[in-house]
Amino acid sequence: MLLKHLQILLIPILLLSHFSAPLEKSLPAQPAGWELLGQAGGPSQGLAAQGNYVYMGVGSSLVVLDISDPTDPNPVGASMPLDYFIQGVTVSGPFAYVAAGSAGLYIMDLAIPANPTVVSRWDSPGFAENVTVSGSIAYLADGPDGLRVLDVSDPVNPAEIANAFAMNYIVDVAIGGRYAYLAADGAGLLVAEISNPQYPVEAGRYDTVGYGRSVATAGSKVVLADEYKGLVILDEIGRASCRERV
């Protein structure tokens, strides 16, 4: 058990030590029109950007990169290791909201980019996969425990105010207007009306061929990453039945 904990602690340190390593000379061929400007870090999951900084989950640490020069991304700091590997990151104002699997949701103060500091942790009942924030409300994709809705107006004391889809595995969540769109694994896409965040109401669903893994909104459209079918684009946002665009 001690060895396991030491391995978890050492992963971010080892990765950080390689940030300044030169790029590999033999990179894979890139599509026409794309050019690699810079690279940093090792195996990572969870990424958010704000201004000239990128906040990236590397193992169980949140790493901060200065990208003011995109050809030379420069690591400027990292958090202490969390209690589980980082799954998703969202930045809103001076805080980072970090979904950390079985360790739940962490909120970090980013006032000093070189020293992201944990100000609170909410131990979710499921497995925190990803999180998004709208105003003072955080929407947590909590894996087997569905969608969790938290009031984060006081970042030091996040408080759950609602939950929904407790019987579904929720992997990702995106907000568009008064709706929350949920990548729901085998259930595809689920839609909740959240004009009153304390009472989310199911507003629609679209069952994809495979498994809904990631979701985003783009104008009047919803885009869903489906494990089998690839990119699924849906319109009629907020209606009882979303329609796939061919």
Whether the per-residue pLDDT at 8 is higher than 70: the answer is no
Calculated CA dihedral for residues 119, 75, 129, 224, nearest 10 degrees: 130
Instruction: Give pLDDT tens digits for 129-181.
Output: 999 999 999 999 999 999 999 999 999 999 999 999 999 999 999 999 999 99
Give the distance between the most distant pair of CA atoms in the chain: 54
DSSP classification of residue 143:
B
Q: With CA atoms as reference, report the closest residue to 231 among 169, 171, 180, 189.
A: 189
Tell me the pLDDT band of 243, cut-offs 50, 70 and 90: low
Strands 230-235 and 179-183: unpaired
pLDDT at 218: 87
- CA distances to 36, 52, 66, 149 from 19, rounded to whole Å, are 16, 18, 12, 36
| Predicted pLDDT at 37 | 65
Cβ pair 170, 146 in contact under 8 A = yes
pTM assigned to the model: 0.81
- φ, ψ of residue 14 in degrees (nearest 5): -65, -40
Q: Nearest to residue 147, comparing CAs of 174, 121, 120, 107?
A: 174
The strand pairing partners of 57, in sequence order, are: 62
Of 64, 112, 59, 110, nearest to 82 by C-alpha is: 59
236: closest CA among 189, 197, 198?
A: 189
Tokens at 109, concatenated: 């103060």
Q: In what order do the strands lie in the sheet with 130-134?
A: 130-134, 137-141, 147-151, 159-164
Integer Cα distance of 229 and 242 in angstroms: 17
pLDDT level of residue 47 (50, 70, 90 thresholds): very high
Write the CB contacts of 11 (distance below 8 Å, at least 6 apart in sequence).
Answer: 58, 59, 60
Strands 189-193 and 61-66: unpaired
Residue 114 is which amino acid? Answer: A
Separation of alpha carbons 193 and 105, rounded Å: 23
